[in-house]
Amino acid sequence: MKKILYLADGYKVDRHPLEFAGFVCNLLKSPLAGLFVEPASHDAGSEMALREEIVCSGIALDHQLPLAELKQECLDRNLTIFRSACEDAGINGHAEVISDHVAATALLECRYADLLLIDPAMGLTIPSAAHTPSMTRNILSQAECPVILAPERFDGLEEILFAYDASPSAVFAIKQFRALFPKLSDRKLTVLTAGGEANVSKNELQRMAEWLRENYGKVNFVNAGIDSRIALMEYALEKEKLIVVMGAYGRNGWSTFLSSSHAEPLAKFISIPIFISHL
């Protein structure tokens, strides 16, 4: 049994990403531990934004009701959605609300976990009343376990796309993915290599191919060319039921991917899960 965490905005919870979490938990025969971010205090500007978010979440806005009560009503509603989604998926789920020292608390939990799932509402570029992109990036970059950016919608998984640049981080990522998800070894695996032979030598490519074919039944290699990030976006746009596997801080073609504005569009607008691991 694995320990799986689900980091989410306490004011923005949607059932669709939770369906992906249920899929992962059922694969690993594991429960789901929800970590819901709910800041203890807000300034005047963030209070206005928070009231708008609460209305968008489906809570009727009562201007006479204190903000604290509105927050609690919204949080209670979202925790109910979480528990209901876990029940529908046939998994055990429990939730914890984080109000203070959010990043430090989440990172401590990650140290003793096997996998962290990050809800798409915890965006990498767009802030909310409960989080900032820098906080999410901090958790993503320092988590001491693999991370999956969950998709907004999930309809199944047929293909694994491995972003490979011959870096130790990239190789470590695919090994961690294989160790966590041996049941996915029957899926098609496509290896997207960054930058051609300038980054990935024939010897490295051959060694990687040998290891992959010992662990996956269907392996295909695609050269991403010079602009590897565009190639990744284009490939993902043409596919459905796909998961991307990548090392977060490779030394070559993928090294700046997650520190740019490309990662969130890939996860949000194309709506695919992204598995990230780093040494």
Domain finish residue from 128, 149, 170: 149
Residues 73 and 168 in one domain: no
Average pLDDT over residues 234-253: 76
The answer to whether residues 136 and 258 belong to one domain is: no
User: Is position 25 within any domain?
Assistant: yes
Indicate which CATH number applies to the domain containing 137.
3.40.50.620
The reply to whether 143 and 206 lie within a common domain is no
Looking at residue 145, its amino acid is: C
pLDDT at 44: 46
Strands (E), 38-168: 93-98, 115-118, 147-149, 159-164
**Residue 154 domain flag:** no
Separation of CA 246 from chain center: 12
Mean pLDDT over 46-57 rounds to 63
pLDDT, tens digit, 9 for 90 and up, residues 110-138:
999 999 999 998 877 677 766 777 888 88
How do beta strands 218-223 and 274-277 pair? unpaired
Residue 48's pLDDT is what?
Answer: 63
Q: Do residues 87 and 172 both lie within one domain?
A: no
Number of neighbouring beta carbons within 10 Å of residue 147: 22
- 63 or 241, greater pLDDT: 241
Q: Is residue 208 predicted with pLDDT exceeding 90?
A: yes
- State whether 200 and 77 are in the same domain: no
Determine which helix (DSSP H) or strand (DSSP E) holds 207, and give its type and residue range: helix 202-215
Residues 201 and 222 placed together within one structural domain of the fold: yes
Nearest Cα neighbor of 195 from 275, 243, 246, 251 is 251
CA distance 176 to 178: 5
Highest averaged pLDDT of the listed ranges 51-60, 174-183, 257-266: 174-183
pLDDT of residue 85: 97
pTM here is 0.89
Residue 71 covered by a domain: yes
Q: What is the dihedral of CA 251, 245, 78, 23, to 10 degrees?
A: -160
Tokens of 205: 């490519």
